[in-house]
Chains A and B, each alone.
Chain A
Amino acid sequence: DIVLTQSPGTLSLSPGERATLSCRASQSVSRDYLAWFQQKPGLAPRLLIYGATSRATGIPDRFRGSGSGTDFTLTITRLEPEDFAVYYCQQCGSSPYTFGQGTKLEIK
Chain B
Amino acid sequence: QVQLVQSGSELKKPGASVKVSCKASGYALSSYAMNWVRQAPGQGLEWVGWINTNTGDPTYAQGFTGRFVFSLDTSVNTAFLQISSLKAEDAAVYYCARSYAMDVWGQGTTVTVSS
Contact = CB atoms under 8 A, between A and B. Distances in A.
Contact of B100 (A37, A46, A56, A92): A92
A46 B107 CA distance: 11
B47 A45 contact: no
Interface string B62-84: 10000000000000000000000
Q: Is the interface of A mostly helix, strand, loop or mixed?
A: loop
B16 interface: no
A46 B105 contact: yes
Given A92-B101, A96-B62, A45 B44 contact: no
Contacts of B107: 43-44
A47 B45 contact: no
Contact of A33 (B35, B62, B100, B108): B100
Nearest to A101: B44
Contacts of B105: 44-47
Contacts of A95: 59, 61
B101 A50 contact: yes
Contacts of A1: 62
Contacts of A99: 44-47
A35 B62 CA distance: 22
A88 interface: yes
